[in-house]
Amino acid sequence: PRLATSFGTRGVVGLRLRSWGLPASVRRSAVAAQVPESQSGVPVVDRRFVRAAHARGLHVHVWTINEPERMHRLLDLGVDGIMTDHIDTLREVMQDRGVWV
């Protein structure tokens, strides 16, 4: 119970369907949806997805984002975390937003 878990593919699909208002089961044991921004050209993360996750008490972590424009856009959507290969770029984005101390 103390282990932080994330959704697998089925959980992400269920959450995506729920974000569109379609019935789907979403397990309650995960604490986050750690997802790509899109998969095979299909958007995964948008405002509706983030809203659906947050409504269920889930964090949204997006990977792997290396461009500052994409980082800003995702943070504007309300994602809770960004995984990147370029931590200096993310730090600059966070400084620009006034949230890096």
The domain spanning residue 14 has which CATH number? 3.40.50
pLDDT in tens, 24-48: 988 777 899 999 999 999 899 999 9
Give the pLDDT of residue 28: 76
The DSSP bridge partners found for residue 38 are: 43
Number of compact structural domains in the chain: 1
34 domain-assigned: yes
**Whole-number Å distance between alpha carbons of 48 and 43:** 11
Question: Band of the pLDDT at 94, cuts 50, 70, 90?
Answer: very high
Question: pLDDT tens digits for 51-83?
Answer: 999 999 999 999 999 999 999 999 999 999 999
Residues 6+ apart with CB under 8 A from 96: 72
Domain range for 70: 9-96
Task: Please report whether residue 101 resides in a domain.
Answer: no
DSSP state of 24: -
Confirm whether 56 is domain-assigned: yes
Q: Is residue 89 part of a domain?
A: yes
| 2 assigned to some structural domain | no
53 located within any domain? yes
The DSSP secondary structure of 55-94, one letter per residue, reads: HTT-EEEEE----HHHHHHHHHHT-SEE--S-HHHHHHHH
85 found inside a domain: yes
In a domain, 3, yes or no: no
